[in-house]
Each structure stands twice: as structure tokens, then as C-alpha cells.
Amino acid sequence: MTAPKITTQIDPVCGMQVDPAKAAGSSEHAGQTYFFCATGCKTKFDKNPAEYTKHS
């Protein structure tokens, strides 16, 4: 059997790759879900999501 492929997401605050199943948190902005490596990154994002998504 083949192991399931793990799809990582990029933490928009620090740029780390994050496994959504193991993320420290997630937030939604403009219809998209973002995942975070640490609660500090989530807190920064939640204060000003537009700052971290302007290039998305």
C-alpha cells in the first residue's frame, strides 16, 4: 500500500512549511484558510491579515 501524501502549507507570517494536521492553529481570511507553525504567528496574522496576504 502507498502511504498518503502529506500536503504542507506555507505559514504566511514566517514562511515555514506546516502540516495542516499538526498546525499550531489556523485562521480564515478572504475565503482562504491559513495554517501556522506557532501560536505567535497566528496572533500576528490575526491582528493584520492583509499585511501577510497582500502577495497571495
pLDDT tens digits for range 13-47: 999 999 999 999 999 999 999 999 999 999 999 99
pLDDT score at 54:
81
Domain range annotation of the chain: 9-53
The β-bridge relationship of strands 32-36 and 25-29 is antiparallel
pLDDT score at 55:
64
pTM: 0.85
1 has pLDDT over 70? no
Please say whether the beta carbons of 25 and 39 come within 8 A.
yes
Helix (H) or strand (E) holding 52: helix 49-53
pLDDT score at 3:
64
Please say whether the beta carbons of 56 and 32 come within 8 A.
yes
Please say whether the beta carbons of 56 and 33 come within 8 A.
no
pLDDT score at 28:
97
